[in-house]
Structure 1
């Protein structure tokens, strides 16, 4: 089944408007265009670092800007999006040519893990689709919605194969882009994360800045079968949230970007609206769990559009255990 057929069937089953199918197809088209740029790498002149800094205080790559522009153009073509929040913009972007009462808002990270581009590493795009309130007005507040209210979420992974992973509230499903037909085909329907898998993804160089419960959890994992866990764990870290979450969706484990004492002006590293919430929806729709270590990610009430939060996502038994470490 290709993506278009899947969406038409899913929207009808879930009582979603056909406009949602149109919107997700536009995001898939953005993914195809970005995949082509990623594949060309330095040949396309998009892999160099620019002198500009984004709202996050991070140096921008040319591919960050190009990916953002592609997303905006594809979203604009649907006319069903009132406004969008992007990692690359300090304020929301509003579409002046949208239809009356355009039903959707989109939050997106156009190129997650862009520092990997210079190394030909895996990168991706993340998106969240939210309902636009009736008679929406241009303000940050309309985007400040709990993750539980997302209509759909997903990411596009640019790796050896280009893959689109989505959920519209009835499971998490993965599609692979056929390089010959340029069509996304359903290859991994209804992904399921095992309740336990002995593997974790974390930036271990930050260990000295973690809270004591997180330090203890990782120490217990590293102690292996001789320790209290009585199990040998592997560690993986791709420096791309899309790549690490994709591995967990495919085989299990837990992704951790915990609270960090070195960064006193924010609670975490990852952005709630366009990184943690959409990934949390995908994980939970696949039978996993999404937490900050103290609260459900999807229940958090955002306070600002670029808000950062801790993120613990993956196999439900491991996330439950990490929450127990923090409670005690």
Structure 2
């Protein structure tokens, strides 16, 4: 780009075009400032006392590391000075009310994928912003379509901010010298059809029938019914997987499966699936559970889990088509009778 557009100037231009635009811009700026601080802490790690050791479990039963606690504190501190009525964080059991008169609510995963840090793999912050309803806490239980902005930060070789705002998706890179995010890609669009998928294939024996059927078709490639040979990717970091899809296309699957604790899916709806779905849809992609559009779902609890299939429109559509061809009661079946091209299709 010819002109170096900072996040601040981008937000100032966008604010007049949106309802509550000034407040939304303030919240995004606060999250961005906290992410700059967090990026420095992650980069220094053990040099500043971050050991990566577990300090117990969070509100949803996941192992909690010292960096998770530090990230949560940073994000909370930043949002207390922003126009935020209430906050849901992965690291707390219940929503926290900040300023009841403020116009916005935020759901956040302060540091997604912290277990990857010891291997120097990219981790991130995921956030969702929505207008406050008349009842503050019920705001979080509205469908994902209620979101007015969302995004994520990737802490990797570069610190990258992906922002879904005003119905488009833009990408910013942190300039470490000026400590400002600079716009590098505007109006990002997901490729509609990329022969690439990401899934943890070691769990195949636990998957339900539709997911097995889709992945088997991809693996068969041109030797089967597909018109292309597929590549497989698996980073194990949600933010890194999402950024790759925005850059390259493809489909990411984190399905529900038969293991205890995974039967309703593993990712959290409010602060993982909802914001990722908004990013994907506003970038021309798609996001589904396999049976329902993610943005149509409303959470019943702050930490509700859900399956997530996201990415290129064709990939998500093909997974959903297989689910539609198999009744839920047969989800665990491998029988070709109930497959997409079985006797009844």
Query: Which band: TM-score by shorter chain?
Result: over 0.9
Q: Which residue does 2:305 correspond to in 1?
A: 308
- How far did 1:263 drift? 2.7
Report whether the alignment pairs 1:111 with 2:111.
yes
Q: Conserved in 2, the CA contact under 8 Å of 1:47 and 1:117?
A: no
Q: Deviations over 1:146-177 (max 9, x none)?
A: 11110100001101010111112321100000
Segment of structure 1 superposing worse, 58-67 or 227-236: 227-236
Conservation of the 8 A alpha-carbon contact between 1:210 and 1:260: yes
Residue 241 of structure 2 corresponds to which residue in structure 1? 244
- Whether the aligned pair in 1 keeps the contact of 2:85 and 2:97 (CA below 8 Å) is yes
Match of 1:10 among 8, 14, 33: 14
Q: SS of the residue aligned with 1:172?
A: strand
1:175-231 deviation line (CA, Å, top 9, x unaligned): 000011111010011111111001111111111111111101101101122121131
Shift of residue 264 of structure 1? 5.8
What is the distance in 1 between the residues matched to 2:317 and 2:227?
Answer: 17
What pairs with 1:245-264 in structure 2 (closer than 5 Å)?
Answer: 245-263=242-260
Q: Where do 5+ consecutive residues of structure 2 fail to align?
A: 326-345
SS in 1 for 2:80: helix
Match of 1:91 in 2: 94
After TM superposition, the score normalised by the length of structure 2 is 0.90
Counterparts of 2:217 and 2:101, CA distance in 1: 53
- Does 2:294 correspond to 1:291? no
Aligned length: 321
TM-score under structure 1 length normalisation:
0.95
- Assess if the C-alpha contact under 8 Å between 2:23 and 2:104 holds in 1: no
**Pairing of 1:140-159 with structure 2 (within 5 A):** 141-159=138-156
Q: What aligned pairs does 1:53-202 form with structure 2 within 5 A after superposition?
A: 53-78=57-82, 80-95=83-98, 98=99, 101-134=101-134, 136-137=135-136, 139=137, 141-202=138-199
- Residue 111 of structure 1 contacts residue 125 of structure 1 at CA under 8 Å; is this kept in 2? yes
Q: Is the 8 A contact 1:128 1:274 kept in 2?
A: yes
Q: Which has the larger radius of gyration?
A: 2
**Deviation of the 1:55 alpha carbon:** 1.6
Q: 1:277 aligns with which of 274, 278, 289?
A: 274
Aligned equivalent of 1:223: 220
State the distance in 2 between where 1:174 and 1:82 align: 27
What root-mean-square deviation, in Å, do the aligned CA atoms of Structure 1 and Structure 2 show? Answer: 1.3
1:26 matched residue in structure 2: 30
Secondary structure at the residue paired with 2:270? helix
- Residue by residue over 1:108-167, the C-alpha shift from the partner in whole angstroms, topping out at 9 and shown as x without a partner, is 001111111111110000000011113x45x4x331121111010000110101011111
SS in 1 for 2:81: helix
> Is the 1:47–1:118 Cα contact (8 Å) retained in structure 2?
no
